Structure 1
Amino acid sequence: MDLDVFIAAHRPEWDRLAELVRRQNSLSGAEADELITLYQRVATHLSVVRSKAPDPVVVERLSALTAQARSAVTGTHAPAWREFGLFFTRGLPAAMYRTWRWWVPTSAVFLLLTGLLAAWVARDPQVQATIAAPDEVRELTRSGGDFESYYSSSPASSFAARVWTNNAWVAAGCLLLGVLLGIPVVIMLGVNAINVGISGGLMFAAGRGDVFLGLIAPHGLLELTALFVAAGTGLKLGWTVIDPGGLPRGQALARQGRTVVLMALGLTCVLFVSGVIEAFVTPSGLPTWARIAIGVAAEIAFLAYVFVVGRRAAREGETGDLDQQYAGDEAPVAA
């Protein structure tokens, strides 16, 4: 092969490809098609030169040109740290915002039932007597008793890890088991509502309602909100089984299921924060108002994260689902 003739014959194509690569961010549709065609041709030229007349200068130029063209055609892979940042600044808050119509009513029902149960227990001594023996109730509610000492029963770091693990499992259960028509989610919420309502009722009956609120509020606001988000999302997953919303049931469940898994990862981080507050702030010697203020600040920050950051991302089209390159293609569905 005469290399000089080969270069003279194909140099215009190489120069044109180099020009298109330089302008890759402003190409028209026809130019983008031309870029792909020329990339394939120049890759073939490189193969021919390597096999027939491996001139180092020509091989180096064509290798660099095909590498640049390949990057322009296929795109560059986003760094992991960037995808991680986008998940927490767009994907996760958008997913939480898009499910607020499920978890906000869920939280309202939970708090209403818990409040009614606590009031019933606090006002009726007979109900209190059916819960536990008088000595056990006194041990639970007295100053330094079981309820109060629970938060300092272990070193703060190990207590935080235990609380975080437990809450993460509960949240994951609410999210993933929601596919069973939401029945396990309702059961788990009911158990938690009963526990909180009974404890609160007994503490208020003993005249120590301020202590109860001072111990529950710092971490409980954020912790319960995270669990409400998990429960509401799990209930939505269960409803998707019943009504896939015009999509094939498998496709609808796959889409909602991916969001559920991603939200489980995000809520684990939220529950880590509430676990740290429960271990280091709740049993601390800070005044009650200061401990509650920390809990309120954490709750406000979370709600702003959902209803400000998440709302903005959702309005810009973010769904909280995986990118298409990870989620895979979906078959089109007729409206």
Structure 2
Amino acid sequence: MDLDAFTSVHTPAWDRLATLVKRRRLDGAQADELVRLYQEVATHLSTVRSAAPDPVLVTRLSDLLNRARTRISGAHEPAWSDVVRYAAVSVPAALYRIRWWSLGVTVACLVVAVVVGVHVATHPEALAAMGTPAEREQYVHDAFGSYYDPKASFAAMVWTNNAWISAQLVALGITGVLPVFVLAQNAISVGASGGLMAAYGELDTFLTLIAPHGQLELTAVFVAGAAGLKTFWTLVDPGPRRRGVALAQEGRALVTVAVGLAGALAVSGVIEGFVTGSALPWWLKIAIGTVALAGFWAYVLVLGRRAVRAGETGDLDMERAGAVLPTAA
């Protein structure tokens, strides 16, 4: 098919449909014309996709048809089935696809935290860098424990802060620098705090206050960093796909990761706000955090594996994302 000739012949119809879509009010004849042109352009899109799948033209017609469909039928109100499918299929699929990246980031961050913690606890000069003796004692015996104030406003503040950090790691991961910087900074901070507490014989206090919420919270941050690094690596090595197409597909899927992590961080925020600083036995607090972490990974590995095997990636469907030109492997 001669795509230029096809475009030249049918552009007047496409332009007319675009004009009708933009009009605030339509009379009866114009409404009928809108429906007729919608059907006609849908046929054109089908023809282009099958005979000459030019991505620019496909995207143009898809966008035009989406706007026309909305004008004809009204704005789409998401059904509960859409929400359930997104939560049970799209999100776990996106998380499952970066599971090995998440594992690698987790191991690397834990190693850095342990090394820093041991260094601070065993080297006087590193301990001295944490502050004056009075400042260190105040942190160990008062500030660290009093930070965890059990109330709803604290839980909301923690969730908002962590969700924002995770969203930044995902969205700005393409730089390749920000995820490494934030992850390293986070690992060093946690390790240094643990080392300081250990130096004063309060390592058990540190672990009992960190473990309830930290298991899920830190995992979510690690996964967000992994998602950002995956975007950067897609830029470096897009595989058989064109670089722009690969970045678009992976980027949309990793936004789904950010949405999923917002839910996980909401759970960890509730635990941090109402469990960590509560009067519950320490073993029960840690058990609650462990169950939350196990639930997260069961969600990723069980539902995610099933979704990926069914062909899901966490990306938008073709209608919303726009078609792309097939690329040979």
TM-score by length of structure 1 reads 0.74
Equivalent-residue separation in structure 2 for 1:256 and 1:226 (angstroms) = 19
Equivalent-residue separation in structure 2 for 1:171 and 1:315 (angstroms) = 27
2:172 pairs with 172, 177, 196, which one?
177
- Cα deviation for residue 221 of structure 1 reads 0.4
Equivalent-residue separation in structure 2 for 1:261 and 1:297 (angstroms) = 26
2:279 pairs with 276, 285, 301, which one?
285
1:273 pairs with 267, 272, 279, which one?
267
- Cα deviation for residue 275 of structure 1 reads 0.5
- Cα deviation for residue 171 of structure 1 reads 0.3
Equivalent-residue separation in structure 2 for 1:304 and 1:123 (angstroms) = 38
- Cα deviation for residue 94 of structure 1 reads 1.1
Structure of higher RCO (CA pairs closer than 8 Å, 6+ residues apart): 2
- Cα deviation for residue 83 of structure 1 reads 1.2
Residue in 1 that maps onto 2:256 = 262
1:125 alignment partner AA: P
- Cα deviation for residue 79 of structure 1 reads 5.3
Equivalent-residue separation in structure 2 for 1:276 and 1:302 (angstroms) = 15
Equivalent-residue separation in structure 2 for 1:307 and 1:206 (angstroms) = 40
1:147 pairs with 128, 144, 147, which one?
144
1:242 alignment partner AA: V
Gaps of at least 5 residues in structure 2 are 1-38, 40-75
- Cα deviation for residue 320 of structure 1 reads 1.1
2:95 alignment partner AA: M
Residue in 1 that maps onto 2:103 = 104
- Cα deviation for residue 126 of structure 1 reads 2.2
| CA offset digits 1:33-56 (Å, max 9, x no partner) | xxxxxxx9xxxxxxxxxxxxxxxx
Residue in 2 that maps onto 1:72 = none
- Cα deviation for residue 92 of structure 1 reads 0.7
Equivalent-residue separation in structure 1 for 2:126 and 2:182 (angstroms) = 23
Residue in 2 that maps onto 1:197 = 191
State the secondary structure of the residue aligned to 1:281: helix
Equivalent-residue separation in structure 1 for 2:156 and 2:226 (angstroms) = 25
| CA offset digits 1:259-291 (Å, max 9, x no partner) | 111211121111111001000000000011010
Equivalent-residue separation in structure 2 for 1:124 and 1:184 (angstroms) = 30
2:140–2:197 Cα contact (<8 Å) kept:
yes
2:169–2:224 Cα contact (<8 Å) kept:
yes
State the secondary structure of the residue aligned to 1:151: coil
| CA offset digits 1:58-105 (Å, max 9, x no partner) | xxxxxxxxxxxxxxxxxxx89521111011111111111111111110
Moved over 3 A (4+): none
Residue in 2 that maps onto 1:167 = 162
Equivalent-residue separation in structure 2 for 1:333 and 1:282 (angstroms) = 51
Residue in 2 that maps onto 1:304 = 298
Q: What is the aligned residue count?
A: 256
Q: What percent identity do the matched residue pairs reach?
A: 51
Residue in 2 that maps onto 1:251 = 245
2:145 alignment partner AA: E
State the secondary structure of the residue aligned to 2:129: helix
2:160 alignment partner AA: T
Equivalent-residue separation in structure 1 for 2:213 and 2:324 (angstroms) = 41
1:325 alignment partner AA: E
1:217-236 equivalences in 2 (<5 Å): 217-236=211-230
Equivalent-residue separation in structure 2 for 1:79 and 1:177 (angstroms) = 29
- Cα deviation for residue 313 of structure 1 reads 1.5
For the aligned residue pairs, the C-alpha RMSD in angstroms reads 1.6
Structure number, greater radius of gyration: 1
Residue in 2 that maps onto 1:314 = 308
- Cα deviation for residue 120 of structure 1 reads 1.0
1:300 alignment partner AA: A
2:289 pairs with 286, 292, 295, which one?
295
